[in-house]
C-alpha cells in the first residue's frame, strides 16, 4: 500500500469532492480523525469552493498516522494513512512559550524573535509580494505580523487584490490621503455575504504562510483590525465565530502560525473587552495546536495577565522610552514581552513612523538584553507610496541590516534567554544582561553590558581573583566583536567612546 510521507510539523492536506448545493461553507461540516502511537486528534475541514472540501492537519510526532474523514453531506468515510518523517531545513516545529519569559520551537531549539510588521504585504500584487520575500530572505527577520482583512489607512487607500468574502465593496474611488479618516468605519453600502468566504483570498494567504514557513519565519496573523471601510471590523458575534473557525480550519495546521486577536484593540468602536475575551478564548478552545495568542494595543494595554494570552504584544506608550520598560512589563505580566511596535524607522509625517535606524537598533538591544523581543517596522516616504510597514517590498533603512547580528548574539546565550540583572547599583547606567537561568549564569559567568547612546571611554570590573574572564567588545551598530583579552580580579576594558557599544564577559574555562 502506498503511504504518503510528510515531515513532522509539516502540512498534511486531504482534498475531496462534495456537495455544492445551498451554502457549502455553512451547511456542511467535515471532520477528520488522526491517530498515531503518540497522538489522537480530531480536526475540522473546510470548504474551498467549487465543490472541493479540504482537511489540513499538522502531525506533531514521527511515525505512521491513520486517518478517517467524514463529511455531513455523505455517509462515506474516507480513510488512509501516511508516514511522518523527521523535520528538515528550517522546520523546528511551532513556537511555544518556555521558561515563562521566552520562546522555543517544539524541537527545543531556542526561538529568539526578531519581528517585523507589514500589515497587508500579502494583499499586494504578485511582483511586490516577490520583492517582499526577497527582502525577507536577505534580512534577519523570523516573525512577520500581517492582517487577513484589507487595510484602510493613510498610504493604504487602494482596494486589495482580493476580498475575504463573496460580494463587493461600495465605490470609494474618491478617497484621498486628506479625507480617508472620514471613511474609516463608514461601512455602509458594502455588499458582503459574511457566510460565504472567497477561497481564493485564503488560498493565496495560505501559500504566503507556507513560503514564510520554508524561510523559517513565523506568521503573526492579525485576526481583526480597525482600519476598515468594508465592515470586517463590525461583524456580529456569529459572523466573527464563522470567520475564526474558518481561519482555524484552514490555517492552524501551518506550524508557523501565531494568532494576534487585534491590532490596536482599543481603537475598535464595535468591540469591547468582553468581545476580545470571547475571541481569545475561542482560539484557545478551538485551535487544535494551541498556537501562540496575543492582543495588541494602541494606547492602553490589554490585561495581558488573562489566561488566554500567551505573551504580551506591546505597542509602546511613550514617545521617548519604549523597550526600556521591558523589565517592568515582564514583572507585571509574567509572560514573554514582545514589543510589536516600538515606532518605525522612516521619515513619514506621523510621529510613530520617523525614527532613525540607530534609534531602532538601540531600542532592539535595550529590549533584547532585558529579555524582551522588539519588533521592527519601516516607513520611508516615497513617491510610489510603497512602505514596508504595510506593503512590504524593498527595505530602505539601516536598522534591518543589523538584526541578524543581534540574533547571533542572542543565540549565543547559555541556555534560553537573557534578562537584566539590576542588582548591582554600579550598573545603573547600562543594561547588564545575564542568562535567564541563574545556575547557568553562575556556571558560565556570561554577561553583557550595553551602553546604548552613552559613550564610556572605559569600564572597570571587579571580580574574584583567580577566575578568568574572556572579554569582548561588541559594536552593535558596526556589527563587530573584538577580543579584549582575558582578565581576572580588578580590570579595565577600554572602549572607543562611541555610542551603541557593549562589553561581553564569560568565564574563560567555559566553552
Residues between 28 and 67 with contacts to a copy of itself, criterion CB under 8 A: none
Stretch that binds a copy of itself, among 59-67, 222-230, 454-462, 472-480 (CB under 8 A): 454-462
The DSSP line for 250-291 is: HHTTSTTEEEEEESSGGG-SS--HHHHHHHHHHHHHH-TT--
Residue 327 is a binding residue for a copy of itself (CB under 8 A): no
| Grid cell 530572505 in the structure block, residue | 137
Q: Measured between alpha carbons, how far is 93 from 100 in angstroms, rounded to an integer?
A: 19
Among 70, 347, 488, 508, binds a copy of itself (CB under 8 A): 347
Binding a copy of itself (rule: CB under 8 A), the pick from 272, 497, 509, 510 is: 497
Q: Which residue's CB is nearer to a copy of itself, number 126 or number 300? A: 300
Instruction: State yes or no: residue 381 binds a copy of itself (CB under 8 A).
Output: yes
100 binds a copy of itself (CB under 8 A): no
User: Taking a C-beta distance cutoff of 8 angstroms, is the pair 441, 447 a contact?
Assistant: yes
Please report whether residue 351 would count as binding a copy of itself according to CB under 8 A.
yes
172 scored as a contact of a copy of itself (CB under 8 A): no
For residue 377, the minimal CB distance to a copy of itself (Å) is 14
CA distance 452 to 218: 28
Taking CB under 8 A as the rule, does residue 458 contact a copy of itself?
Answer: yes
- By CB under 8 A, residue 328 contacts a copy of itself: no
247, 248, 253, 256: CA torsion to nearest 10: 70
Give the residue, chosen from 102, 250, 459, 504, that forms a contact with a copy of itself under the rule CB under 8 A: 459
> What are 440's three cell numbers?
547557568
| Cβ atoms 221, 148 nearer than 8 A | yes
Least distance between a copy of itself and beta carbon 266 (Å) = 14
Residue 198, phi then psi, degrees to nearest 5:
-100, 100
Mark 5-22 as b/e (b = at least 16 C-beta within 10 Å): ebbbbbbbebebebeeee
Give the cell for residue 458: 572605559
Residue 437 Cβ, how far from a copy of itself at the closest point, in Å? 27
**Complex with a copy of itself: residue 28 or 451, whichever CB lies closer:** 451
For residues 315 and 297, is the Cβ–Cβ distance under 8 A? yes
Residue 320 sits in the site that holds a copy of itself (CB under 8 A): yes
Which listed residue (170, 215, 348, 479) binds a copy of itself by CB under 8 A?
348
Is the CB of 219 or the CB of 431 nearer to a copy of itself? 431
Contact stretch for a copy of itself (CB under 8 A) within 145-153, 239-247, 451-459, 469-477: 451-459
Cell numbers standing for residue 452: 546604548
Check binding of 324 to a copy of itself (CB under 8 A). Answer: yes
Give the count of alpha carbons within 13 A of 68, CB side only. Answer: 5
448 binds a copy of itself, rule: CB under 8 A: no
Give least dist CB 395 to a copy of itself, A: 17
Which one of 114-122, 196-204, 320-328, 412-420 is the stretch in contact with a copy of itself (CB under 8 A)? 320-328
Answer for which of 76, 269, 412, 429 binds a copy of itself (CB under 8 A) is 429
Q: How far apart are CA 289 and CA 309, in angstroms?
A: 15
Among 319, 411, 422, 510, binds a copy of itself (CB under 8 A): 319
Residues contacting a copy of itself: total by CB under 8 A: 31
Reduced to 3 states (helix: H, G, I; strand: E, B; else coil), residue 75 is: coil
CB of 486 to a copy of itself, least distance (A): 21
Q: Can you say whether the dihedral through the CA atoms of 242, 244, 245, 250 is positive or negative?
A: positive
Stretch of 121-129, 166-174, 425-433, 435-443 contacting a copy of itself, by CB under 8 A: 425-433
Q: How far apart are CA 322 and CA 318, in angstroms?
A: 6
Counts of helices then strands in the chain (DSSP H, E): 11, 31
The binding site for a copy of itself (CB under 8 A) comprises: 318-321, 324, 346-352, 354-356, 359, 381, 428-430, 451, 453-460, 497, 499
Amino acid at each position: 500500500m502506498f503511504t504518503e510521507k510528510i515531515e513532522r510539523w509539516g502540512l498534511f492536506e486531504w482534498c475531496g469532492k462534495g456537495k455544492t448545493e445551498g451554502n457549502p461553507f455553512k451547511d456542511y461540516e467535515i471532520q477528520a480523525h488522526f491517530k498515531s502511537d503518540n497522538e489522537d486528534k480530531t480536526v475540522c475541514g473546510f470548504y474551498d469552493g467549487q465543490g472541493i472540501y479540504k482537511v489540513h492537519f499538522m502531525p506533531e510526532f514521527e511515525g505512521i498516522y491513520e486517518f478517517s474523514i467524514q463529511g455531513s453531506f455523505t455517509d462515506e468515510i474516507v480513510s488512509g494513512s501516511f508516514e511522518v518523517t523527521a523535520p528538515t531545513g528550517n522546520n523546528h516545529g511551532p513556537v511555544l512559550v518556555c521558561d515563562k519569559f521566552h520562546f522555543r520551537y517544539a524541537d527545543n531549539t531556542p526561538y529568539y524573535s526578531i519581528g517585523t510588521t507589514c500589515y497587508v504585504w500579502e494583499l499586494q500584487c504578485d511582483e511586490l509580494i516577490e520583492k517582499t520575500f526577497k527582502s525577507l530572505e536577505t534580512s534577519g527577520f523570523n516573525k512577520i505580523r500581517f492582517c487577513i482583512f484589507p487595510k484602510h489607512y493613510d498610504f493604504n487607500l487602494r482596494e486589495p487584490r482580493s476580498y475575504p468574502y463573496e460580494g463587493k465593496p461600495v465605490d470609494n474611488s474618491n478617497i484621498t490621503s486628506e479625507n480617508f479618516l472620514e471613511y474609516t468605519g463608514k461601512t455602509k453600502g458594502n455588499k458582503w455575504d459574511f457566510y460565504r468566504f472567497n477561497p481564493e483570498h485564503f488560498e493565496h494567504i495560505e501559500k504566503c504562510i507556507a513560503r514564510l514557513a520554508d524561510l523559517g519565519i513565523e506568521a503573526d496573523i492579525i485576526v481583526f483590525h480597525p482600519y476598515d471601510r468594508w465592515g470586517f471590523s463590525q461583524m456580529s458575534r456569529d459572523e466573527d465565530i464563522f470567520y475564526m473557525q474558518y481561519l482555524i480550519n484552514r490555517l492552524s495546521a501551518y506550524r508557523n502560525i501565531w494568532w494576534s486577536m487585534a491590532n490596536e484593540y482599543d481603537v475598535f468602536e464595535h468591540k469591547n473587552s468582553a468581545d476580545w475575551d470571547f475571541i481569545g478564548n475561542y482560539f484557545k478552545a478551538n485551535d487544535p495546536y494551541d498556537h501562540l495568542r496575543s492582543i495588541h494595543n494602541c494606547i492602553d494595554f490589554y490585561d495581558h495577565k488573562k489566561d488566554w494570552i500567551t505573551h504580551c504584544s506591546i505597542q509602546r506608550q511613550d514617545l521617548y522610552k519604549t523597550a526600556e520598560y521591558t523589565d517592568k512589563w515582564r514583572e507585571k505580566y509574567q509572560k514573554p514581552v514582545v514589543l510589536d511596535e516600538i515606532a518605525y524607522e522612516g521619515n513619514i509625517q506621523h510621529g510613530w513612523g520617523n525614527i532613525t535606524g540607530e534609534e531602532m537598533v538601540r531600542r532592539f538591544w535595550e529590549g533584547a538584553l532585558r529579555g524582551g523581543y522588539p519588533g521592527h517596522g519601516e516607513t520611508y516616504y516615497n513617491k510610489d507610496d510603497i512602505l514596508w510597514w504595510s506593503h512590504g517590498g524593498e527595505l530602505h533603512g539601516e536598522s534591518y541590516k543589523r538584526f541578524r547580528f543581534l540574533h547571533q548574539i542572542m543565540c549565543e546565550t547559555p541556555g534560553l534567554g537573557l534578562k537584566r540583572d539590576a542588582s548591582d547599583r554600579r550598573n545603573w547606567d547600562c543594561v547588564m544582561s545575564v542568562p535567564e537561568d541563574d545556575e547557568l549564569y553562575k556556571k558560565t559567568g556570561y554577561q553583557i553590558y550595553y551602553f546604548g547612546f552613552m559613550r564610556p571611554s572605559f569600564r572597570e570590573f571587579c571580580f574574584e581573583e583567580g577566575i578568568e574572564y574572556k572579554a569582548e567588545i561588541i559594536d552593535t551598530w558596526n556589527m563587530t566583536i573584538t577580543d579584549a583579552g582575558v582578565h581576572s580580579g580588578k580590570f579595565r576594558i577600554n572602549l572607543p567612546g562611541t555610542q551603541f557599544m557593549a562589553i561581553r564577559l564569560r568565564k574563560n574555562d567555559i566553552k
